[in-house]
């Protein structure tokens, strides 16, 4: 097993893992492959000298390989044998091994992906592609049809609206074909109408509100003064005064409704309730030191303003005042005085009840306590809630 190659068909022996001499079938196969490769080279090269030198070099290299394998422990694994058969071909490393070991560059980088529908060139070879912005990578390309639909969604029917890329904020270059002067004129007219319509709609709404206020003011005048006297007064008045004065009536009523005089009256009564004995019955605990100390720890109660409640109360006030005047002041002959006194009576009665209700809510807020979570307290709380629900139903 030394310097020269074994003759063809001669068995080759080697050492196994237990240092025993065994026949190496794999090496015999490798030598057969080497000899076959050398014969091919001799047929391809006409120069016999070069062929002989190659054969000598192959024999020498094969002998060196054989000697190295004799001194190496034979492991018997298939993976090592396969590597040996690949490395040894013609007594030297094949130049094709280096190029085969390097992975070929993938062509995935050259593929185009649509960031709208996620399709590629393989899915639709006839689709038209476009690069509308500065994006790179998977958002670089997009179908022309897909980007058209996306632009339509953003423009919402307004052709002149600018559209930008959602990633790099680059404005898309949208070019429209020339459709002639008539289309340009129609587009201008459509744009002017689109801009003017909001102002026209706002004017219509304001005009409707104004004439509604004028009508409401006229009805209120006839209701307060009297139907005949009201018509006579409006016929004799200056039209400019009517156009300015009549819509002022509902505005003043709404502003008056927003004035919360009950809160100021309640604050005044709380400070001076201890001086008037009769007020102790209507404002209980308003002068108690214990409740006063407790109330200092409680934030003031919020009383939000309801716009619909203010509007309805203000517009219904003349009608309610007229009804109260007929009920409580029927003996008064003047319709205006009777309605005025009826309105004052209604506001006074309503204010008294509202002050009393707010004070009771304030007292209830001051006297509230957070109880321990025990079975007894839970049972009492549930019975109380059930009783309140039954009362509401």
CA distances from 131 to 114, 141, 142, 169, 332 (A): 10, 5, 7, 14, 87
Closest by alpha carbon to 254, among 211, 205, 316, 338?
A: 316
User: Does residue 17 contact residue 73 with C-beta atoms inside 8 Å?
Assistant: yes
Q: Is the pTM of this model over 0.75?
A: no
User: Are 58 and 34 spatial neighbours (Cβ–Cβ below 8 Å)?
Assistant: yes
Instruction: Encode the chain (393 residues) as per-residue pLDDT tens digits.
Output: 444 455 555 566 666 666 666 666 767 767 777 777 677 776 654 444 444 444 444 444 444 444 444 433 443 434 334 433 333 333 333 333 333 333 443 445 567 888 888 888 888 788 889 998 988 887 888 999 899 888 888 888 777 788 889 888 888 888 888 888 898 898 889 889 989 999 999 999 999 999 999 999 999 999 998 889 899 999 999 999 999 999 999 999 999 888 888 888 888 877 776 666 666 665 654 444 555 555 455 555 566 778 888 899 999 999 999 999 999 998 888 899 999 999 999 999 998 898 888 888 887 887 888 889 999 999 998 998 888 888 876
Quick one: pLDDT at residue 183? 87
SS (H, E, C) the chain: CCCCCCCCCCCCEEECCCCCEEECHHHHHHHHHHHHHHHHHHHHCCCHHHHHHHHHHHHHHHHHHHHHHHHCCCCCCHHHHHHHHHHCCCCCCCCHHHHHHCCCCCHHHHCCCCCCCCCCCCCCCCCCEECCCCCCHHHCCEEHHHHHHHHHHHHCCCCCCCCECCCCCCECCCCCCCCCHHHHHHHHHHHHHHHHHHHHHHHHHHHHHHHHHHHHHHHHHHHHHCHHHHHHHHHHCCHHHHHHHCCHHHHHHHHHHHCCHHHHHHHHHHHHHHHCCCHHHHCCCCCCHHHHHHHHCCCCCCCCCCHHHHHHHHHHHHHHHHHHHHHHCCCCCCHHHHHHHHHHHHHHHHHHHHHHHHHHHHHHHHCCCCCCCCHHHHHHHHHHHHHHHHHHC
Domains and CATH numbers, the chain: 13-94 (no CATH), 109-176 (3.30.40.10), 260-392 (no CATH)
Phi-psi region of 372 (alpha: psi -120 to 50; beta: other; left: phi over 0): beta
Give the pLDDT confidence score for residue 16 in this predicted structure: 66
> pLDDT, tens digit, for every residue of 289-312?
555 555 455 555 566 778 888 899
* Residue pair 144/127 in contact by the 8 Å Cβ criterion: yes
pLDDT of residue 316: 93
| Spatial contact of 12 and 31, defined as CB atoms under 8 Å apart | yes
Q: CB neighbours (10 Å) of residue 266?
A: 19
CB 130 within 8 A of CB 115: no
**What per-residue confidence (pLDDT) applies to 270?**
74
| Distance separating alpha carbons of residues 87 and 285, to the nearest angstrom | 106
d(CA 393, CA 391): 5
Residues 141 and 114: beta-carbon distance below 8 Å:
yes
């Amino acid at each position: 097993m030394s310097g020269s190659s074994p003759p063809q068909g001669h068995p080759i022996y080697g050492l196994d893992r237990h240092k025993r001499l065994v026949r190496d079938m794999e090496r015999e196969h490798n030598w057969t492959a080497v000899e076959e490769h050398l014969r091919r080279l001799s047929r391809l090269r006409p120069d016999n000298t070069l062929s002989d030198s190659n054969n000598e070099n192959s024999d020498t290299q094969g002998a060196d390989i054989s000697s190295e394998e004799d001194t190496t422990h034979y492991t018997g694994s298939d993976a090592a044998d396969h590597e040996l058969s690949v490395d040894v071909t013609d007594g030297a490393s094949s130049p094709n091994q280096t190029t085969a070991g390097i992975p070929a560059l993938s062509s995935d980088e050259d593929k185009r992906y649509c960031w709208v529908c996620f399709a590629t060139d393989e899915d639709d070879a006839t689709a038209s592609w476009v690069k509308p912005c500065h994006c790179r990578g998977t958002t670089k390309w997009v179908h022309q049809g897909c980007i058209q639909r996306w632009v339509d969604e953003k423009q919402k029917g307004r052709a002149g609206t600018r559209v930008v890329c959602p990633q790099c904020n680059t404005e898309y270059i949208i070019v429209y074909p020339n459709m002639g002067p008539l289309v340009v004129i129609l587009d201008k007219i459509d744009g002017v109408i689109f801009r003017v319509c909001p102002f026209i709609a706002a004017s219509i709404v304001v005009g409707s509100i104004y004439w509604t206020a004028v009508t409401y003011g006229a009805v209120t005048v006839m209701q307060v003064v009297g139907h005949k006297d009201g018509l006579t007064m409006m016929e004799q008045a200056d039209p400019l005064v009517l156009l300015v004065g009549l819509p002022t009536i509902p505005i003043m009523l709404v502003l008056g409704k927003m004035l919360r005089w009950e809160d100021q009256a309640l604050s005044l009564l709380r400070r001076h309730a201890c001086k008037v004995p009769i007020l102790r019955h209507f404002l209980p605990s308003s002068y108690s030191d214990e409740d006063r100390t407790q109330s200092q720890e409680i934030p003031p109660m919020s009383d939000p303003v309801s716009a619909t409640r203010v509007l309805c109360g203000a517009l219904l006030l003349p009608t309610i005042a007229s009804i109260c005047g007929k009920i409580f002041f029927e003996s008064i002959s003047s319709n205006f005085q009777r309605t005025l006194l009826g309105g004052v009576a209604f506001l006074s009665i309503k204010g008294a009840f509202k002050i009393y209700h707010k004070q009771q809510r304030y007292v209830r807020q001051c006297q509230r306590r957070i109880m321990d979570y025990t079975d007894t307290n839970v049972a009492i709380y549930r019975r109380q809630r059930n009783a309140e629900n039954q009362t509401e139903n």
